[in-house]
Amino acid sequence: MQPLIDNARTFGQRPEEFAKLAEGQSPQVLFITCSDSRVVPALITGARPGQLFELRTAGNIVPPFASEHPTSEAATIEYAVEVLGVRDIVVCGHSHCGAVGALVRGDDLTAVPAVRDWLAHATPRPAGAVEDPAVTQGVQSHVLTQLLRLRSYPYIEKKLKERQLSLHAWFYEVHTGAVQAHDPQTDAFKAL
């Protein structure tokens, strides 16, 4: 913890670079990814403050649309699309994902009941090779499921039809830094 505190203590010594951020934000991208510490969206994309609106959940899960039962995730997505007017939404899964791996393998999550219940109710079990430690196939199919979830949000479907919004499925390898994107033409993940 101490190195993080030390860095935070000196971080504020660049006010001129950040002063204009007080005027507001107009990010072009909503970046939805896992809470995993190995995934650092600003590092992967080179984004500067103000460029990425982020939603991070265990397993980068987009919950089903249910306006009568609002969730934190739905509120974040709604704000990004309807208020900030982001033009792109990236759902970025990652290799060696603990949450998706647990789903694929059907792990016993009794010791972490909140995780168990969140995963059980929030998303279907992805198909994938149980023995693959990187969970590549499972994560990639899981990411595509989340894209379908986004499409079930009426205001997102509307903006997609009006070509005001684009959706992107990414897969990030934590051990190489490589990023793949889903190509709808071939239904395969390819290097960016």
Residues forming the site for Zn ion (CB under 5 A): 34, 36, 97, 99
CB of 30 to Zn ion, least distance (A): 18
CB of 46 to Zn ion, least distance (A): 22
Q: Which is nearer to Zn ion, 3 or 106 (CB)?
A: 106
Q: What share of the chain is helix, strand, coil (3-state, %, to 5)?
A: 40, 20, 40
88-94, strands of its sheet edge to edge: 52-57, 29-34, 88-94, 166-172, 179-183, 188-191
Q: Which is nearer to Zn ion, 159 or 182 (CB)?
A: 182
Q: Which is nearer to Zn ion, 52 or 99 (CB)?
A: 99
CB of 9 to Zn ion, least distance (A): 30
Q: Which is nearer to Zn ion, 34 or 55 (CB)?
A: 34
- The CA distance from 114 to 128, in Å, is 23
Query: Do 98 and 36 contact (CB within 8 A), yes or no?
Result: yes
Any idea how long the chain is? Answer: 192
CB of 184 to Zn ion, least distance (A): 24
